[in-house]
Structure 1
Amino acid sequence: MIRKTLSEVASMIKVENDVTAFADRKIAGASINSRNIEKGQLFIPFKGERTDGHRFVEDAINKGAGAALWQKDVPNPPLHLPILIVEDTLIALQELARSYRNELDIKIVGITGSNGKTTTKDMTTNLLSEKYKVQKTEGNYNNHMGMPLTILSLEETTEIAVLEMGMSGRGEIDFLTRLARPDVVIITNIGESHLQDLGSKEGIAEAKLEIINGLQEDGLIIYIGDEPLLHNRLKSYEGPATVKTFGRTRLNDLYPVEIEQLDNGSKFKINLSDTEFILPVLGTHNVLNSLAAIAAALHFNVSFENIKAGLAKVRLTNMRMEILQGLHGEKIINDAYNASPTSTQASIELLANLPGYKKKILVLGDMLELGPEEEKFHFEIGKSICAENIDAVFTYGRLGSFIAEGAKNIFSEEKVFSYGEKQPLIEELKKHVDDETIVLVKASRGMQLEEVVAGLQ
């Protein structure tokens, strides 16, 4: 992590006050949360609509913070404390991260996409860690505030950082990639998330492609070649980077030649090796995510033997294809971290194709941020469910009710259940499960469907 004296920090960002009295005081790392500040960290307060972090500066320093930033327009700065007065604390955080990143001798892998960013980040980190010292974006620190904090957490001895880049609108990934200056960029896919902000999938594709803007010379672009919105834009790319594609079809540089769905993951082979890989994560879509990670690993000369070892150790963040057991012996796939039409279709396909269960039940909730056609998207999801492979559909939420309406075109009404509250859903669901049942739970994060999962345990 960043380790500097205050005089060194003052040389990296524009500071408005004289820090001579505290010039030799050291900071180690940075935090925006005064409640869990760690010894030596630089505390960065922000002015919000409801609260002002500057109120907690003195408390943070008393708890062990090495120093704190202070925004110039906030009155009464505690000049008796080690503070650095700046024009804007967010901009100062970003500029400090930019300066620190430029000091580091490190390779960066930047990852974006509508779905699968975090999964691909975790997989890429695993594969590269077989050969290098690697750090990654923790949690959801993937935006204009989180990425600077991630960069400031990087150790000087780290060889590769795997950074997730999220967005809600145009220009955000452009900022992040220019800050990180990646050597490899991965675009996992183009889905419907952020249609509300960007208006069309074409707009989403353009926003995701901003990640190329910060790519270093002689870098590598990895993208899903099955996506026409990306392929049509990148097939004529004439920049200095190398371009590699991954996907289902043989038109890609990297593709699976065999996939076998296991009870707790997937077994597969790829076109570039005879190695048989075991991925302890469910879903063909996650095999595809692993191909992007493999392409990045090969770029950094990780052997297939090490790639195999790295994939076998993959463990995803909670609520992403998390396999649990219920009170009645039923298996539960908790995929309630997030949802879009693309990722929901992939989860439904996974459940339909899983072997070894007599009964398969879907629990689906609202998919958010889909714009003016959100009701149509939900209805179409319901219509697409295969009644031959799924035994019952439960939905939750206002938009979830449109999934139920679509499903009634396929299923008899006694197999479709729609609820506006979770507890009645849980009570009815319990009547349908036993030790030969598997239940998949999927919705956008805001729907908190992990509460349904907890109700079954």
Structure 2
Amino acid sequence: MKKTLQSIANWLNVDCGNFGETVVTGVSIDTRTIKKGDLFIPFKGENVNGHQYVAKAFENGAAATLWMKNEPNPPSNVPILFVEDSEIALQDMARQYRDEHKAIFIGITGSNGKTSSKDILASALSPYYKVQKTIGNFNNQLGLPITILSLDEDTEIAVLEMGMSGFGEIEFLSTLARPHYAVITNIGEAHMQDLGSREGIAKAKFEIIKGLDEHGILFYDGDEPLLQNLVGKEPNLNVESFGFKQENSLVASNIVSTEKGSRFDVRGELNGEFFIPVLGKHQVKNALNAMLIAKSLGLRDDQIHFGIEQAKLTDMRMQLIPARKGILFINDAYNAAPTSMTAAIQFVQTTDMRSEKWLVLGDMLELGENEKQFHESMANAIDEKEVKRICLFGPRMKWLYDKLENKFAKDNLIYTANDYNVIINYIEQHANENSLILLKGSRGMKLETIIESFK
């Protein structure tokens, strides 16, 4: 973004004084990461008032700042825009910039796989377009506007991740971004405590169609009956489905995993054998929506082949990490819900990468009143014939431990509520060059801490 302060003032319908020619090249809400030319946006929270950092923002290179009108003692003789509410101003700026931008906007939501789908799609399109994507988890009512305002003016494809915890949030993000294409990766159990049921989760994710361009397309997990039902109620909606069931627009089968990635066959909108350098059947499904979008954009089959072979995921998503003693870790510890944990467990149990398979599982958070049932249900996903050793971490994993206690030998199953060292020492004692160790848990469990001891 490269705008004069006068242009931004016009967006917000405010006065910029004598600083209209000041050039703004980005936005920032954090003085520690602010770049020269950024517009600083101070927020006022319960514990921190961002206005007290405005002077620091200018010291670090800010070109201008917002200032809430009800906040006393504004600085003088600096480029400043007075607004009623910083958050609303940020969103209004993003809305205006989106209206002016010529890029194709793609919105991605879902219970699991948002970030992986974003990464695979951006990788697949990058050889042919200038692509920018959501960085990190900037996917909410503050992060999405910042992402939009961070787009270069010549960006051709904007891949935007959209997260939520309650009803109305995806609708807000979708109507702000107005995507040309929308993706719903799947429906899981995350945020069950806020949305009450999987039906509620599906309804909340389906809000992404609210801002979808009238000629746009929704790409969705066609294996999910809840999404099929919602699609059936929108006869005028342009849709493409992906999955493993034969009736989908794009179907994957014959999935083979190696240490280099996943090879699979597809049938439907594309046909043939494809490869992604990513592990897991569930990641193949995430690749399918990228392939459908690439096809809709007009890429040839050979270009799609090449594009998805460049896929690179954000760390801690089925990430292979060779370690001391010849141990091979799969770091899938960024987040977890029953659906994604089951998928990761199934991958480990069916791969032939290593002969001795381990599970290191941490608590799944935000599952609501049925969290005990969800943790216990993981016992059904674990095949004692395929898994040699299990380490469970976190107070909720005690429920799973109790379910598994009679299935595994005492020396092959351990549990700790909060001590990483119990698991680290156990791995140190028993793991070797034949061991493949999956780490999977919610973000708050920070299971990647365990790997640090073995790098």
User: Is 1:445 aligned with 2:443?
Assistant: yes
Secondary structure at 2:326's aligned position in 1? coil
Structure 1 match to 2:4: 5
TM-score (norm 2): 0.97
- 2:308 corresponds, among 288, 295, 311, to 311
Deviation at 1:72, TM superposition (A): 1.2
Structure 2 match to 1:155: 152
User: Is 1:190 aligned with 2:187?
Assistant: yes
More divergent stretch after superposition (398-407 vs 35-44): 398-407
Structure 1 match to 2:258: 262
d(CA) in 2 for partners of 1:187 and 1:384? 25
Secondary structure at 1:20's aligned position in 2? coil
Structure 2 match to 1:376: 373
1:277-292 superposed matches below 5 A: 277-292=274-289
Deviation at 1:409, TM superposition (A): 4.4
**CA 1:99 to 1:304, structure 2 compared with 1: closer, same or farther past 3 Å?**
same
Please give the per-residue CA displacement for 1:276-317, whole angstroms capped at 9, x wherever unaligned: 211111100100110011111111011111111111111110
Please give the per-residue CA displacement for 1:397-428, whole angstroms capped at 9, x wherever unaligned: 10112121222243233321101211111101
User: Is 1:245 aligned with 2:244?
Assistant: no
Secondary structure at 1:320's aligned position in 2? coil
Structure 2 match to 1:364: 361
User: Is 1:402 aligned with 2:415?
Assistant: no
Structure 1 counterpart of 2:393, which letter? Y
Structure 1 match to 2:387: 390
Contact 2:320 2:328 in 1 (8 A): yes
d(CA) in 2 for partners of 1:72 and 1:133? 39
Contact 2:215 2:238 in 1 (8 A): yes
Contact 1:69 1:84 in 2 (8 A): yes
d(CA) in 2 for partners of 1:342 and 1:85? 46
Please give the per-residue CA displacement for 1:302-361, whole angstroms capped at 9, x wherever unaligned: 111111111111111011111011211010000000000000000000000110422100
Secondary structure at 2:72's aligned position in 1? coil
d(CA) in 1 for partners of 2:136 and 2:354? 33
Please give the per-residue CA displacement for 1:27-60, whole angstroms capped at 9, x wherever unaligned: 1110111112111110001111111111111111
Structure 2 match to 1:146: 143
d(CA) in 1 for partners of 2:405 and 2:110? 32
User: Is 1:170 aligned with 2:161?
Assistant: no
Structure 1 counterpart of 2:4, which letter? T
User: Is 1:434 aligned with 2:432?
Assistant: yes
Secondary structure at 1:387's aligned position in 2? coil
d(CA) in 2 for partners of 1:358 and 1:105? 52
Structure 2 match to 1:422: 420
More divergent stretch after superposition (149-158 vs 377-386): 377-386
Contact 1:263 1:355 in 2 (8 A): no
Deviation at 1:455, TM superposition (A): 2.1
Gaps of 5+ in 2: none
d(CA) in 2 for partners of 1:243 and 1:32? 37
d(CA) in 1 for partners of 2:426 and 2:398? 16
d(CA) in 2 for partners of 1:253 and 1:274? 11
Contact 1:130 1:307 in 2 (8 A): no
Deviation at 1:19, TM superposition (A): 2.1
d(CA) in 2 for partners of 1:275 and 1:30? 44
- The alignment covers a number of residue pairs equal to 453
d(CA) in 2 for partners of 1:378 and 1:14? 52
More divergent stretch after superposition (376-385 vs 152-161): 376-385
Structure 1 counterpart of 2:72, which letter? P
Contact 2:353 2:436 in 1 (8 A): no
d(CA) in 2 for partners of 1:20 and 1:358? 70
Contact 1:383 1:403 in 2 (8 A): no
Structure 2 match to 1:60: 57
Secondary structure at 2:407's aligned position in 1? coil
Structure 1 match to 2:319: 322
d(CA) in 2 for partners of 1:256 and 1:410? 34
d(CA) in 2 for partners of 1:391 and 1:189? 30
Structure 1 counterpart of 2:208, which letter? I
Secondary structure at 1:328's aligned position in 2? helix
Structure 1 match to 2:109: 112
Contact 2:192 2:366 in 1 (8 A): yes
Deviation at 1:154, TM superposition (A): 0.9
Contact 1:383 1:409 in 2 (8 A): no
d(CA) in 2 for partners of 1:305 and 1:297? 11
Deviation at 1:159, TM superposition (A): 1.1
Deviation at 1:128, TM superposition (A): 1.7
Structure 2 counterpart of 1:425, which letter? I
d(CA) in 2 for partners of 1:252 and 1:195? 27
Deviation at 1:274, TM superposition (A): 4.4
d(CA) in 2 for partners of 1:137 and 1:119? 12
d(CA) in 2 for partners of 1:237 and 1:130? 35
Deviation at 1:63, TM superposition (A): 1.9
Structure 1 counterpart of 2:292, which letter? A
d(CA) in 2 for partners of 1:430 and 1:401? 23
d(CA) in 1 for partners of 2:86 and 2:248? 45
Structure 1 counterpart of 2:226, which letter? L
**CA 1:356 to 1:124, structure 2 compared with 1: closer, same or farther past 3 Å?**
closer
More divergent stretch after superposition (404-413 vs 212-221): 404-413
RMSD of equivalent CA atoms: 1.2
d(CA) in 2 for partners of 1:105 and 1:44? 25
Structure 1 match to 2:28: 31
d(CA) in 1 for partners of 2:76 and 2:147? 29
Deviation at 1:176, TM superposition (A): 0.3
TM-score (norm 1): 0.97
Secondary structure at 1:155's aligned position in 2? coil
Instruction: Report sequence identity in percent.
Output: 45
